[in-house]
Amino acid sequence: MNARAFRSILRISLLFLVPTAPLLTAQTVHLSIDASKPGATINRNIFGQFAENLGHGLYGGIWVGPNSSIPNTRGIRNDVVQALRALKVPDVRWPGGCFADEYHWRNGVGPAAQRPATLNSAWGNVVDTNAFGTNEFMDFIHQIGSEAYISVNVGSGTPHEAADWLEYMTAAAPTTLAKQRAANGHPEPYKVGMMGIGNESWSCGGDMTADYYLSQLKIYSRFVHNDNPSQQGANHMLEIAVGPGTPETAWTETIMKAWQHHDWSWNIDGLSLHSYTVGSGWPPSMPSTNFGVDDYFKMLKSTLSMDDFLRQQEAVMDRYDPQKKVALVVDEWGAWLAPLPGTNKAFLVQQNSLRDAILASLNLNIFARHADRVRMANIAQMINVLQAMILTDKEKMILTPTYYVYKMYVPFQDATFVPVDFDPGTVHRDGVTLPRVDALCARDASGKLWLEITNLDPEKPLDINLDTADMNIKSAKGQTLTAPAVDSVNTFTAPNSVMPKPISASVNGGRLTLTVEPKSVTVIALEQ
């Protein structure tokens, strides 16, 4: 017997020896879409991102400098730009976070050699070369095709400093600051889409009371202007006030009560809300790798409380702003897990698993269901920090499972919410109960319907049965994201372990049927 014949006999005998996993029967979920009752627009800014000067979020993640051997354009990594362009990132919040209330923008403009080295005392006291400053951030925003969401320093800055920064960025008239910007390579005024007035002012932003912050807010709103001629009137820059970081409503009450009677001298377009999923209290201790289904249940259960958090704040906002003029802006959210062993704890480095992708889809669906009030959100954070889209290691780059969810959700940007009715069912583990399924439907500008289905069940597939009566739908196709285990991750040595794959379905007798795998996120276009 030759070696080849021996190997095939061995393979066949092994097939009989290997115990097969029990075949878990799929559960059926009936969905019905009511396309005649469209809801709010799912604002594209719900898919915003957050890039703080923290760890390798900027340095190494975005900025490598023009002399780097890593391919770059004016110091900004080409691989990262290319990956982010595919997400159509609507806006990027920068420079923080806690860092924003320690940032002095003048340190980060002008010739690189003349910029001072400072300490990043918010995040590990590391030396900050200030090489990545305003012009570099704006170049990055331009390269990825996004919009700037600038957080100004209220904690250790002044209204004067912030006003100068906005003038530097946005003045078209030949003021000294506008000329300085031109001398630094950008004669045209920049667009600043949003301005955050402080960050977590109830904590790292200066531990202020709500009343004290309110007085600061009024001053900053009054005196810090966007001077860009194209951003006046209807296109004005959105001003976002610091909002709550816990479900308590006292802070929101103070700001919104004052806003209700605001005069011409100040205004806000949004109130921020921060909510991280830690799963087991602070400091975050849940691992981002090598965890089991128990952790999966705990984290997803915990993340679903976002819905109640939003409802509580919205109830207060509705009282003072029934016309929903002020948006709720969830500008920090995501899974905050234990730092990866061997990393600088202040750099907030964690892996990103299939579980985190599912967590992202659940939150995006919650935001979409609150789309009339939640018109902006920024996942924390974009690169190398917390629940990142991208991880880099010198010249290497990987896309995380969360990245793929954002890519699959692109069709939902600015789409119109369409109600979808289904019984979510339940799935249990060690006393923790989760819904078995979540779903989101929306119609894009071209009229096409998109359906998202999250199967939370870590073991059983789901048979989706969609009633398409009156919708003239012939087929469906899209992508599905799953992996062998809830803790499956992409690594620098195995970068493609968790990736979406195509999925399609046909319609028979007015019903569309589709089986989605356990622990999966699926987005399909319903083709007419």
Q: Compute how many other C-beta atoms are within 10 angstroms of the C-beta atom of residue 122.
A: 21
Q: How many whole angstroms separate alpha carbon 381 and alpha carbon 519?
A: 23
Helices 354-369 and 306-320 sit at what angle, rounded to 10 degrees? Answer: 20
500 binds ligand AHR (CB under 6 A): no
188 is catalytic: no
83 binds ligand AHR (CB under 6 A): no
* 457 backbone dihedrals φ, ψ, rounded to 5°: -65, 120
CB of 20 to ligand AHR, least distance (A): 45
Question: For residues 245 and 419, which CB has a smaller minimum distance to ligand AHR in the complex?
Answer: 245
Q: Which residue has the tokens 């040595």?
A: 493
Question: For residues 151 and 361, which CB has a smaller minimum distance to ligand AHR in the complex?
Answer: 151
Q: Do residues 128 and 118 make contact, with C-beta atoms less than 8 angstroms apart?
A: yes
Q: Do residues 95 and 103 make contact, with C-beta atoms less than 8 angstroms apart?
A: yes
Q: Do residues 29 and 425 make contact, with C-beta atoms less than 8 angstroms apart?
A: yes
96 binds ligand AHR (CB under 6 A): yes
Residues 458-497 that bind ligand AHR (CB under 6 A): none
240 binds ligand AHR (CB under 6 A): no
Q: Which stretch binds ligand AHR (CB under 6 A): 90-98, 317-325, 406-414, 465-473?
A: 90-98
Residues 165-224 that bind ligand AHR (CB under 6 A): 199-200
Residues 99-118 that bind ligand AHR (CB under 6 A): none
Question: For residues 198 and 458, which CB has a smaller minimum distance to ligand AHR in the complex?
Answer: 198
Size of interface with ligand AHR, in residues (CB under 6 A): 10
Residue 201 DSSP label: T
Q: Which residue is nearest to ligand AHR (CB)?
A: 97
52 is catalytic: no
Q: Which residues contact 117 (CB under 8 A, 6 or more apart)?
A: 127, 128, 129, 130
51 binds ligand AHR (CB under 6 A): no
Q: Buried b vs exposed e over 383-393: b needs ≥16 C-beta within 10 Å?
A: bbbbbbbbbbe
CB of 97 to ligand AHR, least distance (A): 3
Judged by CB under 6 A, the residue of 109, 238, 362, 380 near ligand AHR is 380
281: tokens are 């209290």
Q: Which stretch binds ligand AHR (CB under 6 A): 127-135, 176-184, 209-217, 379-387?
A: 379-387
Question: For residues 139 and 332, which CB has a smaller minimum distance to ligand AHR in the complex?
Answer: 332
What is the distance, to the nearest Å, from the Cα of residue 299 to the centroid of all Cα atoms in its chain?
17
Question: For residues 143 and 378, which CB has a smaller minimum distance to ligand AHR in the complex?
Answer: 378
CB of 203 to ligand AHR, least distance (A): 7
What is the distance, to the nearest Å, from the Cα of residue 303 to the centroid of all Cα atoms in its chain?
14
Q: Do residues 496 and 455 make contact, with C-beta atoms less than 8 angstroms apart?
A: no
What is the distance, to the nearest Å, from the Cα of residue 347 to the centroid of all Cα atoms in its chain?
18
128-131 own/partner pairs: CB under 8 Å, 24+ apart: 128/53, 129/59, 131/59, 131/63, 131/65, 131/75
CB of 362 to ligand AHR, least distance (A): 20
331 binds ligand AHR (CB under 6 A): no
Q: Which residues contact 494 (CB under 8 A, 6 or more apart)?
A: none
CB of 52 to ligand AHR, least distance (A): 5
What is the distance, to the nearest Å, from the Cα of residue 242 to the centroid of all Cα atoms in its chain?
18
Judged by CB under 6 A, the residue of 33, 42, 44, 52 near ligand AHR is 52
Question: For residues 387 and 479, which CB has a smaller minimum distance to ligand AHR in the complex?
Answer: 387
Q: Which stretch binds ligand AHR (CB under 6 A): 132-140, 307-315, 380-388, 504-512?
A: 380-388
Listed residue (300, 318, 298, 322) closest to 252, CA to CA: 318
CB of 418 to ligand AHR, least distance (A): 33
332 binds ligand AHR (CB under 6 A): yes
CB of 200 to ligand AHR, least distance (A): 5
**Residue 279: exposure state from Cβ atoms within 10 A (0-12, 13-18, ≥19):** buried
Report the length, in residues, of the chain.
528
Q: Which stretch binds ligand AHR (CB under 6 A): 29-37, 320-328, 378-386, 502-510?
A: 378-386
Q: Could you tell me the maximum CA-CA distance found in the chain, to the nearest angstrom?
A: 93
Question: For residues 105 and 450, which CB has a smaller minimum distance to ligand AHR in the complex?
Answer: 105
Pattern of binders to ligand AHR over 349-368, x per CB under 6 A? --------------------
Q: How far is CA 146 from CA 30, 226, 323, in A?
A: 38, 18, 28
Q: Which of 102, 136, 332, 452 is catalytic?
A: 332
Give the residue ranges of DSSP H helices in 304-353.
306-320
CB of 201 to ligand AHR, least distance (A): 10
Q: Do residues 29 and 422 make contact, with C-beta atoms less than 8 angstroms apart?
A: yes
Q: Which stretch binds ligand AHR (CB under 6 A): 55-63, 95-103, 281-289, 481-489?
A: 95-103
Q: How many whole angstroms separate alpha carbon 228 and alpha carbon 189?
A: 6
Question: For residues 361 and 381, which CB has a smaller minimum distance to ligand AHR in the complex?
Answer: 381
Q: Which of 200, 239, 452, 517 is catalytic?
A: 200
223: tokens are 């005196």
Residue by residue, DSSP assigns 106-132 as GGGSS-GGGSPPEEETTTTTEEE---S
435 binds ligand AHR (CB under 6 A): no
**Residues within the interface to ligand AHR (CB under 6 A):** 52, 96-98, 199-200, 332, 380-381, 386
Q: Which residues are catalytic?
A: 200, 332
